[in-house]
Amino acid sequence: MTASREVSDVTDSLTADTVVLPPVVATTVPASLDARSVSAWFGSHQVLSRVSLTMPAGQVTALIGPSGCGKSTFLRTLNRMHELIPAARFGGEVLFEGEDIYDASWRLTDARRRIGMVFQKPNPFPAMSIYDNVVAGLRLTGTRASRREKDELVEESLSRAGLWKEVRDRLRQPGGALSGGQQQRLCIARALAVRPRVLLMDEPCSALDPTSTRRVEETIGELAGQVTVVIVTHNMQQAARVSQQCAFFLAEQGTPGGIVEAGATNDIFNTPQDGRTADYVAGRFG
């Protein structure tokens, strides 16, 4: 799936109803996520079976494991993006501060606004200005804001994404003119513009050079505490650097993916309980 396709998927899913921006104070209150017995299918193909994982508020949880084991699918169940894919099915519960986001009282836009997403490939709108790219985050979730609120939000979001100092003098230039790493931080700013309490990131550095990667990792470090982060990464060193919690996913021989082991990142890397985890973190497969 291409990055631009993902954005249009989000746009297409929007309903006409709009919501009012939450108060600024919400930016500093991260929320816990608790996945309970999550299963996922594409048609008859089950790709996750009864996955449970607690993602503590204000911490960075890394999802690691070989390609194809269901990490991205799991991430998409955490803000209901999974259900946008044709033939996708879901079972289980995802509790946001104890409330099931799949409950009938939750609208798709509620989930999308409270639980933001950043993708693998930086996908700013290239011809749109840096300013409008950040504000576009509001439109994607149907949030309304006044001109003054927008000005404040653009500065706040770019600052939180660690990009403000680099772009403050060229907010009207196109987002596509930025470097790859800056574009990814612009996408983080766009996601932060609705003041989500959780931020999901799917291999956000895999298209970036090492310097830009470090810069994004610093940004993740700065966001921790303000927002709960769940990050998929295939880079073990990155998981060790940025996360406090880690979950190792595996899908063995055509069976649906699941979590082999989860816990404090230090423990997963230094004293894994399962031999498969030990082999994976030591780079012996995957």
For binding to Mg ion (CB under 5 A), which residues are involved?
72
Write out the H or E segment, with its range, that includes residue 225. Answer: none
For ligand ADP, which residue of 19, 85, 95, 207 counts as binding (CB under 6 A)?
A: 85
Using DSSP, state whether 4 is helix, strand or coil.
Answer: helix
Near ligand ADP in 30-59, by CB under 6 A: 42, 47
Is residue 95 close enough to count as binding ligand ADP by CB under 6 A?
Answer: no
Q: Which is nearer to Mg ion, 72 or 212 (CB)?
A: 72
For ligand ADP, which residue of 69, 78, 158, 250 counts as binding (CB under 6 A)?
A: 69
d(CA 264, CA 25) in angstroms, rounded, equals 29
85 binds, among Mg ion, ligand ADP, none (CB under 5 to 8 A by kind): ligand ADP
Would you say 120 and 184 are in contact if contact means Cβ atoms under 8 Å apart? no
For ligand ADP, which residue of 72, 182, 238, 243 counts as binding (CB under 6 A)?
A: 72
Nearest approach, Cβ of 67 to ligand ADP (angstroms)? Answer: 4
Strand order in the sheet with 198-202: 115-118, 198-202, 228-232, 60-64, 245-250, 258-264
Nearest approach, Cβ of 46 to ligand ADP (angstroms)? Answer: 9
Nearest approach, Cβ of 110 to Mg ion (angstroms)? Answer: 25
Is residue 71 close enough to count as binding ligand ADP by CB under 6 A?
Answer: yes
Q: Which is nearer to ligand ADP, 131 or 248 (CB)?
A: 248
215 binds, among Mg ion, ligand ADP, none (CB under 5 to 8 A by kind): none
Nearest approach, Cβ of 71 to Mg ion (angstroms)? Answer: 5
Nearest approach, Cβ of 94 to ligand ADP (angstroms)? Answer: 16
Closest alpha carbon to 60 in 189, 231, 196 = 231
Near ligand ADP in 136-195, by CB under 6 A: none
Is 200 exposed, middle or buried (CB count within 10 Å of its CB: 0-12, 13-18, 19+)?
A: buried
**Nearest position to Mg ion, beta carbon:** 72
Would you say 231 and 201 are in contact if contact means Cβ atoms under 8 Å apart? yes
Q: Which is nearer to ligand ADP, 38 or 186 (CB)?
A: 38
Would you say 245 and 70 are in contact if contact means Cβ atoms under 8 Å apart? no
Q: How many residues bind ligand ADP (CB under 6 A)?
A: 10
Question: What's the N-to-C CA distance of the chain in angstroms?
Answer: 22
Nearest approach, Cβ of 184 to ligand ADP (angstroms)? Answer: 18
Nearest approach, Cβ of 72 to ligand ADP (angstroms)? Answer: 3
Q: Which is nearer to ligand ADP, 85 or 207 (CB)?
A: 85
Using DSSP, state whether 137 is helix, strand or coil.
Answer: helix
Query: Tokens in use for 247?
Result: 């979950």
Dihedral sign of CA atoms 215, 28, 239, 265 in order:
positive
For ligand ADP, which residue of 61, 73, 123, 183 counts as binding (CB under 6 A)?
A: 73
Q: How far is CA 123 from CA 8, 56, 175, 176, 275, in A?
A: 11, 28, 10, 9, 38
Binding site for ligand ADP (CB under 6 A): 42, 47, 67-73, 85
